[in-house]
Structure 1
């Protein structure tokens, strides 16, 4: 029952965000649309942003599970782009709101996990300090998320496949080269 209620609350928030900015949505609006009481909302979530984060975790970023290898990062990142594209209203609303910081932080965290897995795989057999592997993953994280944020800012006009192809051409082999430069 708990997951069903969370999904219903999520659907209500997404529906409301199609019509108005997140700053203008109240918990009262969500529970009214969902036909539950405020206590039910607070039983599951601390606030609207907590619900929003749950939406991203459960819907969008499960795509990254198992996609943290050099051969599969493209597929995982493409799924993230497609999720953002499919939830355009919600994402653009959040992007242009006070919640943008949460969106960015969430993207940075999730993309870092993907890239850290790729870096770890590419580092097998090399002696590279953990701090250097983390730095390489951070470097690419900022590039990847920066590209995604600019894509959102400019209205998501370019196709996700085209963006992933460009990124792939740019970085093919470069993570391994970076690791070699940091090898002890």
Structure 2
């Protein structure tokens, strides 16, 4: 029941964000739309930003669940673009509000996990220190999230498939090469 209630509250917030700026949405708006009382909301979430954080944490991670390998990372990254695009009004509303930190935090987290899985796969059997792996993961995390944030900043107009295709042309094989260089450092 708890997950069902959280999902219902999330759907209400997302629905409201399609027409109202985040700063103008109240807990009362959410609970009235959802059909629960304020106590129920506060039983699950500290405030609206905690609900927003829960949405991004659960939904962004879920969209890439199957695509976190060296061969499929591009699909996982593309699925993040698709999720953001499908939730365009909510994402732009969040990006242009105080809630932007929640969006950025969860994009960084999701992309970090994606890149970490790829790097772990590549380095299997290689002698690369955790510190060197961490550096490579963080480098790609910042680059990839930077692309996502720039795409959001420019109103999500560029074709996500083209962005990922260009990215793949640019860095194809470079992660492996970087890790090989670290091996000899």
Residue in 2 that maps onto 1:144: 144
Compute the displacement of 1:49 (Å).
Answer: 1.5
User: What's the Cα RMSD here?
Assistant: 1.1
Q: Which runs of 5+ in 2 are unaligned?
A: none
**Offset of residue 113 of structure 1:** 0.5
Q: Is the 8 A contact 2:69 2:117 kept in 1?
A: yes
TM-score by length of 1: 0.96
The 3-state SS of whatever aligns with 1:101 is helix
State how many pairs are aligned.
184
Where does 1:22-171 land on structure 2 (aligned, <5 Å)? 22-171=22-171
Q: Tell me how far apart the structure 2 counterparts of residues 78 and 59 of structure 1 sit (CA, whole Å).
A: 14
TM-score by length of 2: 0.95
1:5 and 2:32 are equivalent in the alignment = no
Question: CA shift at 1:24, angstroms?
Answer: 1.4
The Cα shift of 1:10 comes to 0.9
CA positional deviation for 1:106 = 1.2
Unaligned runs of 5+ in 1: none
SS state of the match for residue 167, structure 2? helix
Q: Hey, what's the Cα distance between the residues in 1 that align with 2:124 and 2:5?
A: 44
Deviation at 1:114, TM superposition (A): 0.4
**Within 2, Cα distance between the matches of 1:176 and 1:32?**
52
3-state SS, counterpart of residue 155 of structure 1: coil
Provide Cα deviations, 1:12-48, integer angstroms capped at 9, x if missing partner. 1011111121111111111111121111001111211
Report the Cα offset of residue 89 of structure 1.
0.2
Aligned-partner Cα distance in 1 for 2:49–2:79: 23
> Residues of 2 paired with 1:112 and 1:61: CA distance?
11
Provide Cα deviations, 1:97-135, integer angstroms capped at 9, x if missing partner. 011122111111110010011111111221111011011
| Contact 2:56-2:102 within 8 A present in 1 as well | no
Deviates more, 1:49-58 or 1:157-166: 49-58
How far apart in 1 are the matches of 2:54 and 2:160?
24
